[in-house]
Structure 1
Amino acid sequence: MYFQHVYDKTLAQASYFIGCQAKGEAIVIDAKRDIDTYLDIAKQNNMKITHVAETHIHADFLSGSRELAAVTGAKMYLSDEGGEGWQYEFDHVGLKHGDKINVGNLTLEVLHTPGHTPESISFLLTDHPATDKPVMVFTGDFVFVGDVGRPDLLEKAAGFTGTQEKGAKQMYESVQRFAELPDYVQVWPGHGAGSACGKALGAVPSSTVGYEMIRNWAFQYKNDEQGFVDYLLEGQPEPPKYFAMMKHLNKVDRPLLTEVPTHNKLTKETFIDAYNKGIKVIDTRNKFDFAKGHLPGSINIQGNNSFATWCGWILNYEEQFILVADEGQMDDLTRKLMRIGLDNILGYVDDITSLGIQTKSNEIIDIEEFKSYIGKGGVQIIDVRGESEYKAGHVKGADNVFVGTLEKNLDKIDKNKQVVIHCQSGDRSAIAQSLLAKNGITVKNYSAGMKEWNEKGNEVVKG
């Protein structure tokens, strides 16, 4: 058996290439959209991708299963569980609990594991030349290392009212069945630490059933369903706004993108014309460089591992946008964006000083100046972190307005006061500062944030 774990650290998303070397056949589970990765693996190992499978209709990334099937001619094997409303709307081989997929001398048995979503399935792998006992289970968003998939996404992100309690109870039942698998079976999940699909995902890529039985909180509620449900639903992070679009696009028949596109560097004239028409400009530079000088109205989303997630919060899928980035970054940034279906890049510019537009600067303050504003009547301090982070410990008197929903909550910003913002370590407050400036609100940014505040032993308020 050939096995390769393919990990996208930008979305903390795992996919899997599994092949039978004797027969030269391979299956890919939960493919990302830039499929050249899998084609290269197949070519390097003299294998043909004959099967493509998914664990569920994903909400956090745009699946590349259809692109991969279109290019390779592989059959798609997708869940037909979950009942009405939870079915894929394009041709595929439907899978039910107990079904088996044969890939050369390998067998993958389908396990229906609802909870995260009603149609969720896992794949239990047996490598027959070696043993007739299962050796691996690919769990998607069911069981992670140290956690289980959240059941509230359908309600919070996709608007399916009343589904989170039902999903939590289904997850409890699925966990009990999972515990019956042999301790030695390796667990390969769909996500790792940093994913918004859970609240306590481990950083190691895989585990075993036995390890999860003693380490994962979900297996400590063996005879306490309500305790399990309450803990599972409590304190989950805000689901990114783009999740609803992913849930839709992964279910319906949509246009395919089988290659990573290239984008043009815009001429000064083309850029200014688009800029004057109000097309959004996403400046991917370092937050400190952006603060020193940037185009008025541009939004600072740094081109790091969180780039796609924050673009998914801020951008509209129907509108074009422009990137400020170096040419050498464009392939990486394009891949990050296409993985969540943000394909409407008009082009990019790499030198804002050559555009003839007067730049603006943002004010970053240090901890001493930040302290001088605390408790003052004419000042509003805003913590732009997530609600659960805020409740775990915040600066006394600070209001909480999450950066991802900031533009929908501008009424919570007191324009008659000096506004001072912060987050954990400056990345989110840089986004927030640029969004507020775009909306005509000038603020001061304590960029070092709660990281420095806590390191220096300052007071925090919980709740």
Structure 2
Amino acid sequence: MFLRSYFDEKLAQYSYLVGCQRTGEAILIDPPRHLDMILQDADKEGLRVTAAAETHIHADFVSGARQLAVKHDAALYLSDEGDEDWKYGYTDQLHVTKLKDNDTFMIGNVQFDVLHTPGHTPESISFILTDVGGGAEQPMGIFTGDFVFVGDVGRPDLLEKSAGAQGTARSGAESMFKSIQRFKEFPDHMIIWPGHGAGSACGKSLGAVPQSTIGYEKQTNWALKETDEQAFIEELLQDQPEAPSYFAQMKKVNKLGPAIIEETDGKWFSNEEEIVKWAAQSGHFLLDTRPAKEAEKGLVPGSINIPLGKLLPNWAGWLVDYEEKIALIVKPSDAEEAIIALQSIHLDQIVMLIDPNSIDSIATASYETVSKEKFEQEKEKEAVQIIDVRNDSEWQEGHMEGVQHKMLGHLREEGKKLDEEKPVLIHCQSGARSAIAASVMLSLGFKEVIHLEGGFGAWKEKYPEKVTR
């Protein structure tokens, strides 16, 4: 048997390639949308990816299952649990096996047994792996998707928070407790291969270790240790991070079927006048992917700066409307990475690519980054507006007095409520999110935007006595 994991750092998402070396067949568990590297690896190992399986309808990234089925004729193994709201809607004309609890399927001589594990979502299933071809009579491990993570379990409140599906959070928590009791009956030696690691918004305390065992999690994972159902439910629902607004869109996309990616060449533009006109039009989003230290010196009016890296897909998902057309300011050498990051959350309408070297004369908007001492001086002035763009939990743990809390993901709308004529002072916890926020405020027409270097953490260290709750 062959097994290799793939980790998308920007989405903190794991995919798994499992192959039978005797037959040359392989399956991808929870495949990403962009598959070239994985398919190349499979080919190097003498494997052909003949199938894909999903643990559930994902809400945080675009699944590559349909891409594999349409472009590579892969068979799909998909959950048939849950009611009609949780059924896949793109399976016609594809080779699909719909799975229920206790079903079994084979990829070569590797056996997968299906375990229904509702809680994170009603249709959630896990795959128990047994290397039959290697002579095993006991399972080696289990692909848990967003059911059990290292150190945590999947949150059940995403649809209630992101899509307004009232009542689903508590019922999901109740189902999660029952699923865990069943899960704990499996042998301690079984390896847990989770769907996400630290940095994912699908839980609140995911570990950064790529895998664990059932026995270890029973000793260390709070959710497996808690035996009182009501206490478990309260703890699971408490202090979950904000649900990114694009999660509801992802759930719909993966349920109905993501668009098939075709090979296309990006269209590069360099006419400065046309770029400015394009950015000013309704329904257009000019996304600047340069590092914040570069962008703060000069932004094209109307653009928003989300640096290329881990921040890009998450905050683009929050801030870009899915109906908007996107133009990317990106270095040619970074264009492919940026496009893949955006397409991983189905932001596909990228219509223009712009080399940063071509915007020098039109990058006329800028904000000022100041020290904690200078920020403290500025915020004592009367005619200023001070914005904290951190998450709710960070705000509740302590904040500056007289500050308005406007979480970054909502700032394109919430920022419109402020007075454009007054200076805006803005901060987050460390400075990364507030740099994005500063560009958002400039895009809304604010002229004087001041950004705190080092964020609330640096300010709190200097002025601990001024922290309020």
TM range (shorter): over 0.9
The residue aligned with 1:422 is 427
**Take 1:146 and 1:396, find their aligned partners in 2: how far apart are those partners?**
35
The residue aligned with 2:33 is 33
Task: Map 1:7-406 onto structure 2 (within 5 A).
Answer: 7-91=7-91, 92-128=96-132, 129-222=134-227, 224-257=228-261, 259=263, 261-268=264-271, 270-278=274-282, 279-351=284-356, 354=359, 356-357=361-362, 359-374=364-379, 377-406=382-411
1:408 to 410, 413, 418: 413
Q: Deviations over 1:307-356 (max 9, x none)?
A: 01111111111221111111000011111111111111112111355564
Displacement, 1:101? 1.3
Q: Which moved more, 1:444-453 or 1:232-241?
A: 444-453
Partner AA of 2:223 in structure 1:
A
Displacement, 1:428? 1.0
Q: Does residue 452 of structure 1 match 2:458? A: yes
**Take 1:72 and 1:418, find their aligned partners in 2: how far apart are those partners?**
55
Any conservation in 1 of the 2:193–2:212 contact (CA below 8 Å)?
yes
Partner AA of 1:419 in structure 2:
V
Alpha carbons of structure 1 residues 428 and 142: separation in structure 2 relative to 1, 3 Å: same
How many residue pairs match? The answer is: 461
Q: Deviations over 1:272-310 (max 9, x none)?
A: 452353532111111121111111111011111110111
SS of aligned partner of 2:55? coil
**Take 2:408 and 2:285, find their aligned partners in 1: how far apart are those partners?**
17
Q: Which moved more, 1:371-380 or 1:195-204?
A: 371-380
Could you list the runs of 5+ residues in structure 1 that have no partner in the other structure? none
Q: Deviations over 1:47-80 (max 9, x none)?
A: 1112210000000001011101222212100000
Q: Which moved more, 1:95-104 or 1:341-350?
A: 341-350
TM superposition score normalised by structure 1:
0.95
Displacement, 1:154? 1.2
**Take 1:354 and 1:171, find their aligned partners in 2: how far apart are those partners?**
51
**Take 1:272 and 1:402, find their aligned partners in 2: how far apart are those partners?**
28
Alpha carbons of structure 1 residues 276 and 444: separation in structure 2 relative to 1, 3 Å: closer
**Take 2:235 and 2:103, find their aligned partners in 1: how far apart are those partners?**
33
Alpha carbons of structure 1 residues 387 and 18: separation in structure 2 relative to 1, 3 Å: same
Identity %: 46
**Take 1:257 and 1:183, find their aligned partners in 2: how far apart are those partners?**
41
Partner AA of 1:288 in structure 2:
K
**Take 1:343 and 1:106, find their aligned partners in 2: how far apart are those partners?**
36
Any conservation in 2 of the 1:126–1:136 contact (CA below 8 Å)?
yes
Could you list the runs of 5+ residues in structure 2 that have no partner in the other structure? none
Alpha carbons of structure 1 residues 255 and 361: separation in structure 2 relative to 1, 3 Å: closer
SS of aligned partner of 2:321? coil
Q: Which moved more, 1:106-115 or 1:401-410?
A: 401-410
The residue aligned with 1:436 is 441
Q: Deviations over 1:163-205 (max 9, x none)?
A: 1010011011111111111111000100010001111000111
**Take 1:373 and 1:461, find their aligned partners in 2: how far apart are those partners?**
17
Alpha carbons of structure 1 residues 462 and 145: separation in structure 2 relative to 1, 3 Å: farther
Displacement, 1:264? 2.0
SS of aligned partner of 1:157? helix
Q: Which moved more, 1:435-444 or 1:99-108?
A: 435-444
**Take 1:117 and 1:159, find their aligned partners in 2: how far apart are those partners?**
15
**Take 1:142 and 1:89, find their aligned partners in 2: how far apart are those partners?**
23
Q: Which moved more, 1:52-61 or 1:78-87?
A: 78-87
Q: Deviations over 1:359-396 (max 9, x none)?
A: 12211111111222455544332210110111123233
**Take 1:258 and 1:207, find their aligned partners in 2: how far apart are those partners?**
37
Q: Deviations over 1:107-160 (max 9, x none)?
A: 010000000000000001001124110111000000011010000001111221
Q: Which moved more, 1:191-200 or 1:248-257?
A: 248-257
**Take 2:265 and 2:205, find their aligned partners in 1: how far apart are those partners?**
37
**Take 2:415 and 2:384, find their aligned partners in 1: how far apart are those partners?**
16
Q: Deviations over 1:395-429 (max 9, x none)?
A: 33332110100122236535565431101222211
SS of aligned partner of 1:183? coil
Any conservation in 2 of the 1:11–1:306 contact (CA below 8 Å)?
no
**Take 1:457 and 1:58, find their aligned partners in 2: how far apart are those partners?**
43
Any conservation in 2 of the 1:188–1:205 contact (CA below 8 Å)?
yes
Alpha carbons of structure 1 residues 262 and 210: separation in structure 2 relative to 1, 3 Å: farther
Partner AA of 1:230 in structure 2:
E
